[in-house]
Amino acid sequence: MLALNPGEVLVLTVWAVGLACAVYAAGDRRTSPARRVVTVLMAFLLPVLGSFLAAVLAVQRLRSRRRAGPDAATP
């Protein structure tokens, strides 16, 4: 049986949330494809640091979408 302590659960949760943020941030078509791939890879390979970076990029994408409005994203 696998037993996790609270610290491990916290790190795994941060990692999972970071991966979700990275996938969301990678959906931004204004950034280069290389940056999108690197964002997801960093969130996957560097659990805490990469997840933090992905969360920051996801928040930036949300803020830019709110300023531009929903119709600005469609070509």
pLDDT value of position 56: 83
Q: What is the pLDDT of residue 10?
A: 85
- Taking alpha carbons only, the member of 52, 25, 46, 47 closest to residue 36 is 25
The CA distances from residue 31 to 5, 24, 28, 45, in Å, are 38, 13, 6, 21
User: Around 5, how many Cα atoms within 13 Å sit in the side-chain half-sphere?
Assistant: 1
In the numeric block, the tokens 């949330």 are attached to 17
Q: Where does the pLDDT of residue 51 fall: very low under 50, low under 70, confident under 90, or very high at 90 and above?
A: confident
Which pLDDT does position 57 carry in this prediction? 80
